[in-house]
Amino acid sequence: MGLDDRDYMRDRYRKRQGLDPDGTTWNDKKARRKQSRAAHKKAVPLGSASWVGKTIDMEPGSGGGAWFAAKNRGFDYQKGRFRPAPPLFKPHPLQGLVLLLSAVGILIPAYREAKRAGWFPDRTPEIAFPATGTVTVSNGVNPRSATSRMNVVTDQANAVVQLFKRQTDEHVISVYVHRNDDVTVPVPPGTYRMKIIEGDKWHGTTSYFGPSTTFETVVRPMVFTRQRGSGIDLHRSPAGTLHTSINIKDPTPLD
């Protein structure tokens, strides 16, 4: 095919497609391409953009839709956003308080048990603890009046068990018992408030057991009669029936 035949065939093809036989356009790679149909002959300059077809009104309230809608960050937009499903179980605010109280109920007894067992440093020289069954009696108590009995069973700590008059809080008797021991001593009949001092190393009737001293008061009054005595077992257990309250103040010296 010669050049004349090629040009003839090209012009014939353009006429059939409705294109301008003499017009050409350039693509972005600078190569010649066929022009679009004559009805859409208008070319777009490289590096620019224009709206094609119907003009869109960009003014608010005009009824036309904008090509790029303004960002909507209002209530309606937020309402339609994804929200995770609510948890099946919502903890009550008081549950944290319950857990805290439970932890305190466990930690305080554990701390006091470690203290009376001598786990904390004690650099003060130790002196000999009195023999089991030794007593310190108030000057106003007649030994012949001690016609009742008090039994004391100790655990892993040395103990001093004291009786005080319920009305006047006057000291009556203190009983000394070594760790892991059992003793029964005579006491005067009466209704008393019982206090318990326990610890590891003995430092005398003023400092008692030093850093390892624990001091408690039995909640219910202790009753002793001629016919019936009373006792105390210092082995702690959840099933124990002897309820005590912790004394913040140190025990009163016996000197």
CATH value of 135-246 in 1.20.970.10, 3.40.50.1000, 2.60.40.10, 3.30.1330.10: 2.60.40.10
Flag whether pLDDT at 246 surpasses 70.
yes
The average pLDDT across 117-136 equals 90
Asked if residues 150 and 231 have their Cβ atoms less than 8 Å apart, the reply is: yes
Q: What is the mean pLDDT of residues 182-211?
A: 96
Give the pLDDT score at 189: 96
Does residue 200 contact residue 118 with C-beta atoms inside 8 Å?
yes
Q: Given this model, what pLDDT does residue 115 score?
A: 81
Q: Where are the domains of the chain?
A: 135-246
Mean pLDDT within 135-162: 94
Q: Are 206 and 197 in contact (CB under 8 A)?
A: no
The reported pTM is 0.59
Please write the tens of the pLDDT for every residue from 49-68.
444 555 555 555 555 555 44
For the ranges 56-60, 149-153, 176-180, which has the lowest average pLDDT?
56-60
Please state the φ and ψ torsions of residue 162, each to the nearest 5 degrees: -120, 145
Task: Identify each DSSP E strand in the chain by its residue range.
Answer: 25-26, 32-33, 135-137, 148-153, 158-165, 171-177, 182-187, 190-199, 214-218, 222-224, 230-233, 244-246
Lowest mean pLDDT among 18-32, 142-156, 184-198, 240-254: 18-32
Q: Report DSSP letters for 6-33, one per residue.
A: HHHHHHHHHHHHT--TT--EE-TTS-EE
Q: How many CB atoms lie within 10 A of CB 181?
A: 16
pLDDT confidence of residue 9: 75
Radius of gyration of the chain (CA): 50
